Amino acid sequence: MTAEMLSIPGLAKPASRIALGTWAIGGAMWGGPDDENAARTIDKALDLGINVIDTAPVYGFGHSEDVIGRALEGKRDRVILATKVGLNWQDGKVFRDSRPERIKQEVEDSLRRLRTDHIDLYQVHWPDPKTPIEETARALEQLVTDGKVRALGVSNFSPAQMDEFRKVAPLAAVQPPYNLFEREIEKDVLPYAIQNKLVVLAYGPLCRGLLSGRMTADRKFEGDDLRKTDPKFKEPRFDQYLKAVADLKAIADKHGKSMLALAIRWVLDRGPTIALWGARKPEQISGVDDALDWKLNEADMKEIDAILTRDITDPVGPEFMAPPARA
Ligand code: NAP
C-alpha cells in the first residue's frame, strides 16, 4: 500500500498511481490469452493496492473486458474501471469508429462484459478523422448524463483535438504513449495536460517489456505477438535499446531499485501521471512497491537523458500501433 494517490476529476475515489494495463490479458496481438493467470493477476493487483484497471473492447475483441468483469464480481466497488470506445473491427481488422451510433452500441457491450452498471473513466481510444470530434463528445456527454459513465478521457489525441472535444464536454484524462524511450508528448500533450489539469494515463510505461530489465536479444515472440512487427525489436535498433537499458540499470542500482522500478518511477516523476503497467501474470506485478514512494532527483534525470541520447542513435516511436481510419 502507498500514500501515492491521484485525484481524477469527476471521480470520488482517489486513484493509485500505478494502474493494471490489460491489453495482453485480451490475448490478441500478445500470443494468445491465459485466463487463469489473468484472473490471478487482477486479484494480485488489488492486493497490492492498485485500484485502477485499464481495458478496451478491442483487447481480444471483448475478451479482456470479459475476464475483468468475471474477476471483479463482488469487488467492483474497489476499483476505478477505465475502458475505451471508438475502435471497431471486422474479420479481425481494427479501424477507427467514433460515430454516435457506434458509441451507443459499444457502451452497452462494455457494461455487459464488465458486469457493471457504470464505467468510471470512458476514453476515446483513437481520434476518428471521419467523425467530427464534437459529435463524439456530445454522444459521450449524454452517457455521463445518463449515469452510465462517470468521467471522460481521450487517448492518442493532440492538444488541438482535445480543444475541440472540450468545447462540448469536460475531459478528466488523456492516455498517450509515454515511457523512457517514447517521449513525444513532452512537446505538447504533457504541458497541455498540466495546464488544463488532466490526469495523464501513460501507456506502455515498460515499452512493451523492453524496459522490464528482463528483455534479452534472443527473446522469441510467439504467434501474433505485436513485438514481431515493432521496429524497436528489430536490429540494429534492438541492440541500441538493450544497451540503453543496461546503462540505465546503473542508475536503478544506485537507488537500490530494479530496472523496472526505475522505468515506472521515471514516468511517475514527470507529471500528473498514472503508469499503465501491462501485466498478465501475477508475478509480473509483484514489484509494485519497489516503484512507489521514492523519487528520482535532477541529477538522475540529466544522467538518464545523456544515456538515451548517447545510446539510441536511431530512435523510433510507437506509430506502428496506430489503427487505420474507417474505409
Ligand atoms: P508495457 O506496460 O510497456 O509492457 C507490458 C509487457 O511488459 C508485458 O506484457 C510483459 O511482457 C512485460 N512485463 C511486465 N511486467 C514484467 C515483469 N515484471 N518482468 C518482465 N516483463 C514484464 O506495455 P503495454 O501492455 O503495451 O501497455 C500497458 C497498457 O497500456 C496496456 O495493457 C493498455 O491497458 C494500455 N495501452 C493503451 C494503448 C492506447 O492506444 N490507448 C496502447 C497500448 C497500451 P511479456 O508478458 O511478454 O513478458
Written as one string, the DSSP assignment of 227-261 is GGT-GGGSTTHHHHHHHHHHHHHHHHHHTT--HHH
Task: Report how far residue 326's alpha carbon sits from residue 118's, in angstroms, rounded to the nearest whole number.
Answer: 28
Going by C-alpha positions, the residue among 68, 75, 39 that lies closest to residue 53 is: 68
CB 212 near ligand 1, within 6 Å: yes
Is the per-residue pLDDT at 44 higher than 90? Answer: yes
Mean pLDDT within 17-43: 93
> Mean of the pLDDT values across residues 6-16?
97
Q: Is the pLDDT of residue 288 over 90?
A: yes
For residue range 239-284, list pLDDT tens digits in order: 999 999 999 999 999 999 999 999 999 999 999 999 999 999 999 9
Give me the half-sphere count of Cα atoms (radius 13 Å) on the Cβ side of residue 234: 9
pLDDT 10s digits, 123-151: 999 999 999 999 999 999 999 999 999 99
pLDDT of 3 over the 80 cut: no
> Catalytic residue numbers?
59
Q: What percent of the chain has pLDDT over 90?
A: 94
Of all protein residues, the one whose alpha carbon is nearest to atom 35 of ligand 1 is: 203
Mean pLDDT computed over 298-326: 97
Task: Give the residue-averaged pLDDT of 99-117.
Answer: 98
Q: Is pTM beyond 0.95 here?
A: yes
Query: Domains in the chain, start-ordered, CATH in brackets?
Result: 5-210+267-295 (3.20.20.100)
Which pLDDT belongs to residue 163? 98
Residue tagged 493467470 (cell numbers): 37
47: enclosing H helix or E strand: helix 35-47
pLDDT at res. 2: 63
pLDDT exceeds cutoff 80 at 1 = no
pLDDT by residue (tens digit) across 166-214? 999 999 999 999 999 999 999 999 999 999 999 999 999 999 999 999 9
Under the banding of pLDDT at 50, 70 and 90, the label for residue 28 is confident
pLDDT digits (tens, 9 = 90+) for 60-88: 999 999 999 999 999 999 999 999 999 99
Ligand 1 contact via 88 beta carbon (within 6 Å): no
Distance 298 CA to ligand 1 centre (A): 27
Could you tell me the distance, in angstroms and rounded to a whole number, from the CA of residue 66 to the centre of ligand 1?
Answer: 19
Nearest protein Cα to ligand 1, atom 42: 203
| Average pLDDT for the chain | 96
Q: For atom 48 of ligand 1, which residue has the closest CA?
A: 209
CA separation for the pair 14, 206 (Å, rounded): 24
22 lines ligand 1 (CB under 6 A): yes
